[in-house]
Structure 1
């Protein structure tokens, strides 16, 4: 259900349209083509040039709906570049109804003589592995740090079908192909989910130690240098062209203590998880985080047969006050886990309750591994600083309500690396913050609506046990199931053709009302009191929130 509404809204993000005039540039010229309405003065024209060059938005030319997650975007640090740009670019006024012009913007980044750009990727999970692979393929001298090469993160391990094709993953790393799910309510009412899947559709279940190792090995095959080392800290350069100095302990020789070493690089991608040391070094700010706790349980063969292609999700304040418990099948065992933000000290109590809810189906099982790990609840206030960028859990890219993180980690790592490859001309030039912010703006534009809506949905459905009962009952609806699986498996969106901006992100009341009017479950929803406040309300003074479930419109 969470993915249903988020998918419908994610397509609402708008493209930034800017207008400007031709200017003269010093140093190397960077070209961009933009379309937009004409501006009547040189000052307004130059403002649009600044928007394009520095990755900022003009209120006259960009959607007000395009924002960084939760309004936490850090302020620009481009004053120095902007001052030099003022001297380099002479903006001419242009008055036309519509036009296409070419911008020549000055760049101060230098050509690298006799070497390629050097980039360090700190962390060897899905985000780091995909970033390192993309960098190495793009001609960048790449160094990837990972301390635990056999690391098994406590993660459900579910990946969408589209990820297998998009990231060219081999099928032999998929342990199970889940085609059925059971959503189990606080009163143990179970709803079967998966009726709308065709025979070729499934959710892939992987072990993180297998997936992560494969992605690292593939990055290495393209030329990335994989270092079995623990990143400690980095020295921040004082100018635009000096190197970052990374301090780390090298464990490549099998030493338990490690050998202290340093490495100089031009840019850094922090993919080192929720407790990111890279994030601390750039003062990226803190965030709320959940604790995920998981036990891997070896169960008898007859019990394992039950979970062959089935996953279970339990909701209720006994298993978590703000999340869910799960039983996910692996190759020869099941993963049983839960998570919470609001009551971390009680995580073991919630884990025991999750195990008890599933006790008949995992009876006779033996716990073979126990895992715990922090999971971010929202993106960090600062994700790019100078020539350093955060991706994956280090940036805070885990969705609320569903807790999905693997796909978004891999996607953010690749997108960040692509921005560096493009900005550096395949490693021939130094990069700057403007180059890295290309990744950030693209990411926010594409995925901000998804994160925003899932945040609202968590508040709607995880607020009480009656609300959770309604949530499970609603999952029986065929339309909800189809939309949920389509949005999760393919990361598809349903754009609102009547709107060209991103201002259709709904309020909590609007989502509640949409559920009431689109799903055949009004009685259960009224019982949970989640929508009583708006069940009689059919209009808002705000902006219509576009197609939610069945593309019905709110009346303004």
Structure 2
């Protein structure tokens, strides 16, 4: 083992979480290596709230579309439009968005390296990481005082360094990026996100059509490993009349929907983003939470490097759960109850017609926190929610 490490921090994974962590640490003056696989684009609807642009200094030019409403479709094909109001939901393309974040980290001083992590030895105070530039390249080894694993839902770092990290339940997502024609005759709106709560398209999650300017994302997810994602996406495109739109690329990946119980190894490793399980249940939203976890992971690592006290690494999860744990808990309950079967999905869509539900949903999404200024609205929604769940129409207004 070398007496001194090659880097202060190695960040494994160059998605929004890893790139944010690398950028923040490089800006703080640390010697950072950002290791990322070449050509990897995560399947993602690409929705980002306005708060993300503000919190992470993201330019509007990276947005390829502004969604002004969401339309949710019930099993009966009943459609409910939920206008955003004065705001918008930003849409990004993950290939260009992620690359911009990686370049920003490099501009801040991080060393970008293309490769795949093969193993990490975290048994000593200085971690040793092995990687290959590509499948046929020789194994290379690099050392660091700390490692941040932001390498996705099946994280090598998490599985090798953190106990029980491989037990997180996942939704398996698949989407096809299609070219939007100049003349549109189909039921498609470039300023609207369509979400399908229909059991034949997803037995336990949802399907979507999200606008991306000149392209669109058409996909779905399910926790059922045997569910035919590709065939069902083809079925959905036939159902919506979008079969003839040109397919540009196809992508699939597991998406975790529950945060790990522990994010660090107690010595020199912490995980963030999908590797930490910070994708919101029910909605599947992940970009904002990934970047937030990356920033909190970077802060925890910086505290550890300054103090030498590995307990500082635990601050990453504590900070995240304090800020967002309650939202994740509520969304988890929603997914458990409302996605069970088509009868409940029908009632869920019906409930979304309610103005209180729409207003509080968008306010919580835009601000990334529960809305507390109107407690009576929450009370009304609670009783309406029970009424829809049990089919007690007398409870509704």
TM-score by length of 1: 0.65
Is the 8 Å Cα contact of residues 263 and 271 (structure 2) preserved in structure 1?
yes
State which of 297, 300, 303 in structure 1 corresponds to 2:181: 300
Residue 141 of structure 2 is matched in structure 1 by: 262
Correspondence list, 1:65-84, <5 A = none
- Counterpart in the other structure of 2:365: 488
Corresponding position of 1:246: 129
For the 8 Å contact 1:290–1:344, the answer to whether it is kept is no
Matches within 5 A, 1:18-29: none
1:389 is matched with 270
Matches within 5 A, 1:75-94: none
For 2:196, the equivalent position in structure 1 comes to 314
The worse-fitting range, judged by mean Cα deviation, of 377-386 and 413-422 is 377-386
1:197 and 2:101 equivalent? no
Q: Deviations over 1:120-162 (max 9, x none)?
A: 10000000000001111112111110012x4221110101111
Q: Distance in 1 between matches of 2:380 and 2:204?
A: 22
Contact in 1 for aligned 2:33/2:111 (Cα 8 Å) = yes
Residues of 2 paired with 1:452 and 1:472: CA distance?
21
Which region of structure 1 is more displaced relative to structure 2, 380-389 or 117-126? 380-389
* 1:311–1:532 distance in 2 versus 1, CA, 3 Å: closer
Secondary structure of the 2:224 match is: coil
Unaligned runs of 5+ in 2: none
Match of 1:186 among 62, 72, 75: 75
Counting helix residues as a fraction of each chain, which structure ranks higher? 2
In structure 2, the partner of 1:162 is: 51
Counterpart CA distance in 2 for 1:283 and 1:423 is: 18
Q: Distance in 1 between the 2:348 and 2:19 partners?
A: 36
2:105 corresponds to which of 201, 219, 222: 219
Match of 2:205 among 300, 319, 323: 323
Please report how far the alpha carbon of residue 164 of structure 1 lies from its aligned counterpart in structure 2 after TM superposition. 0.7
1:210 aligns with 2:96: yes
Cα displacement (A) at 1:467: 1.1
Residue 78 (structure 2) pairs with residue 171 (structure 1): no
CA pair 534-455 structure 1, distance change in 2 beyond 3 A: farther
CA RMSD of aligned residues (A): 2.6
Q: How far, CA to CA, are the matches of 2:157 and 2:203 in structure 1?
A: 31
Match of 1:371 in 2: 251
Q: Which residue of 2 aligns with 1:352?
A: 234
Q: State the match for 2:390 in structure 1.
A: 531
Structure 1 residue runs of 4 or more that deviate by more than 6 Å after TM superposition: 113-117, 533-536
Go from structure 1 to structure 2 and tell me whether the alpha carbon gap of 1:165 and 1:496 turns closer, same or farther (over 3 Å shift): closer
Asked if 1:129 corresponds to 2:9, the answer is no
- Judge conservation of contact 1:379–1:397 (CA < 8 Å) in 2: yes
Once the two structures are superposed, residues 460-504 of structure 1 have per-residue CA deviations (whole angstroms, 9 ceiling, x without a partner) of: 211121211111122122221111111111213335999xxxxxx
The CA deviation string for residues 325-367 of structure 1, in whole angstroms up to 9 with x for no partner, is 00011131211000000344432343233223322xx253122
Q: TM-score, normalised by structure 2?
A: 0.90
1:388-407 counterparts in 2 under 5 A? 388-407=269-288
- In 2 relative to 1, CA 516–164 (structure 1 residues): closer, same or farther, beyond 3 Å? closer
The structure whose Rg is larger is: 1
Using the alignment, how far apart are the partners of 2:272 and 2:94 within structure 1?
17
The answer for the alignment partner of 1:334 in structure 2 is 216
The number of residue pairs the alignment matches comes to 387
Q: Take 2:276 and 2:133, find their aligned partners in 1: how far apart are those partners?
A: 25
> Distance in 2 between the 1:169 and 1:516 partners?
36
Residue aligned with 1:424, SS: helix
Contact 2:149–2:272 under 8 Å retained in 1? yes
1:258 match: secondary structure: coil
Which of 243, 253, 273 does residue 152 from structure 2 map onto? 273
- Alpha-carbon contact 2:234-2:243 (below 8 Å) kept: no
Tell me, in whole angstroms, the C-alpha distance in 2 between the residues paired with 1:514 and 1:476. 14
